[in-house]
Structure 1
């Protein structure tokens, strides 16, 4: 005879059904995604939405506020205004993740360690999936970095571009989102990190080595090249900016 689990209607909490405003918000998200509505597309106005969902204005406004905080829509004011489609971006996740990391006491070193684990994996995937045009664009990125080696702002921008291109070539939207989010949290330009000319040249050389590995289709070599690059970057930050890497992550919005 099997033992009783002891699970009864009285031993568990009641499952809260979703609020009407939450249900409406989900239905609007499904409508936007299922119909592939482009960013900037105007949704029906408040009067029309109230009729479509057969709800009150207060409930509708609560649903729209929920979507606005999630980055799904923007609310335009004035005549002809109303809800407009907005596609969520990695920066939207950055805000939430940064706050979570701050409350858990995470440091910039923790973020750099996460990138050290993530970026070589993406480079390995990219080596198996990258096409000729993506390789060419990465090589152009390296060229631009070298051509603007005396310009700190241009160097930092091109560094961001390069890593985004590798993430895109990996062909995983999930990894791309996480990479973009972590990269934006550990943004050297925002934090005031300065790269000397020799260091900029070393970064460009590391990028070229990664591109060569990607172009060869050798996943192992691509992973190792990216891992070495990320380790060198982390070591540079820790050596030159120890107070920066050891401090806790801060919400800077």
Structure 2
């Protein structure tokens, strides 16, 4: 079968060509989650390449979250189950490589997160409410202890995204969260800033609990605009 799947490489950047062919084989369902790719020796023969560009290509595919390389007897390159985390990690890497700045991230958040809050209000279940309220509780205790709970701020938005029940939105927000965890370290929030942010989070939570989708949407927009001003971006 492999002879029909892959073409021998005759031109272009070798490792990129290998990556493109294997990705296509995975995305078209020729290789499914859990399947093992041909051995290194077989791939070298199929692509008519040397070991170095092949290994470079396999490393790239692993970094994309598409495969896992297992060492030892019974090892090899296996196709991953494409859950949310590997896709989010890959998107994070692409955003980083694209030099996306925090101003662009915030514009994106303002354009999309109010609608995420809207969907969360309509689709949330009791487990979602429990998760959001637990995050709020952590944030409240941190503020009472006069600490800067940046992580719980990001966690709140991820929990709201999960309540939307839209896998693509969850992936995107998770990827953005990874960047924000680094970017927000450069900014100093006062205790008053944290109190105001938490006030919005509580109000958004109550709107989601009541299934008041329009209110949740409006509050999320107002919240993100407020933080944008505080960050001066």
Alignment of 1:111-190 (within 5 A): 111-149=105-143, 150=145, 152=147, 155-187=149-181
User: Which structure has the highest helix share of the two?
Assistant: 2
Q: Corresponding residue for 1:90? A: 88
Alignment of 1:67-86 (within 5 A): 67-77=61-71, 81-86=75-80
Q: Deviations over 1:7-34 (max 9, x none)?
A: xxxxxxxxxxxx6764444334566984
Alignment gaps of 5+ in structure 2: 1-16
Give distance in 1, aligned partners of 2:162 and 2:212: 17
**Any runs of at least 4 consecutive aligned residues in structure 1 with deviations exceeding 6 A, and if so which?**
none
The answer to whether the Cα contact below 8 Å between 2:39 and 2:76 also exists between their aligned partners in 1 is: yes
Q: Corresponding residue for 1:250? A: none
- Rate the CA distance shift 1:121–1:58 in 2: closer, same or farther, 3 A: same
Bigger radius of gyration: 1
Superposed CA RMSD in Å reads 3.3
- Rate the CA distance shift 1:190–1:219 in 2: closer, same or farther, 3 A: closer
For residue 78 of structure 1, report the CA deviation from its aligned partner. 5.3
In the superposition, the TM-score normalised over structure 1's length comes to 0.69
Is structure 2 residue 215 aligned with structure 1 residue 195? no
Is structure 2 residue 204 aligned with structure 1 residue 210? yes
- Higher RCO (C-alpha 8 Å, min separation 6): 1
SS of match in other structure, 1:187: helix
In the superposition, the TM-score normalised over structure 2's length comes to 0.74
Alignment of 1:40-51 (within 5 A): 43=36, 46=39, 50=42
SS of match in other structure, 2:216: helix
For residue 210 of structure 1, report the CA deviation from its aligned partner. 0.4
Give distance in 2, aligned partners of 1:98 and 1:108: 11
Match of 1:26 among 24, 27, 43: 24
Counting matched residue pairs gives 210
Alignment gaps of 5+ in structure 1: 1-18, 239-244, 246-253
SS of match in other structure, 1:113: helix
